[in-house]
Amino acid sequence: MRDNFDHCLAAVLKHEGGYVDDKRDPGGATNLGCTKKVWEEWVGHDVTKDDIRALTVADVSPLYKKKYWDVVKGDELPSGVDYVMFDCAINSGTGRAAKIAQKICGVAQDGAIGPASLASIKHICEAEGVRYFIEEYNDARLRFLQALPTFEHFGKGWSRRVNEVNIGALDLARLGDS
């Protein structure tokens, strides 16, 4: 939903945390959820781990808006749905975020949110309720994460994150209804 970006970004960044460089994580050096590779693509040149460590919310906010929020059409999604899809896009990629939504809606899973996907998401949310969509989405997201080989190491944190995103999204949906 338009005007939810800042709130959703703050919620995402609580889960992403600060600087980490866990050898078991294929993302490598990461700060505020932004990997070295993603930051290099964004700025158009190589960066050091120290550059990643120095990232601020002000640095990464435009990247998250353009590469994730705008790609999943956050401004056009119902309140709460915007958050679950944005968080998933950052954590698992925009294509995965779109495919989960598309599967729930029963439309072609092409990994891109276009007019047909948006209309289907809105239809499901009107017919079944935003709560239904949010819970179905997070259930599907968790099943995807559980199938990853790195779930053994990161699964407890990922499961907690999906649960907390579910709670936060339902709160946003309630606020959007009022």
Summarize pLDDT for 100-113 with one digit per residue, the tens.
999 999 999 999 99
Helix, strand or coil, per DSSP, at residue 123: helix
Q: Is a pLDDT exceeding 50 seen at residue 178?
A: no
Q: Is a pLDDT exceeding 90 seen at residue 176?
A: no
Q: What is the dihedral of CA 75, 94, 31, 80, to 10 degrees?
A: 40
Q: What is the mean pLDDT of residues 25-39?
A: 90
Pick from 2-6, 50-54, 159-163: least confident = 2-6
* Residue bearing the bigger pLDDT, 31 or 177: 31
**Residue 154: pLDDT band with limits 50, 70, 90:** confident
Helices 57-64 and 36-43, axial angle in degrees (round to 10):
80
Q: What is the mean pLDDT of residues 55-67?
A: 97
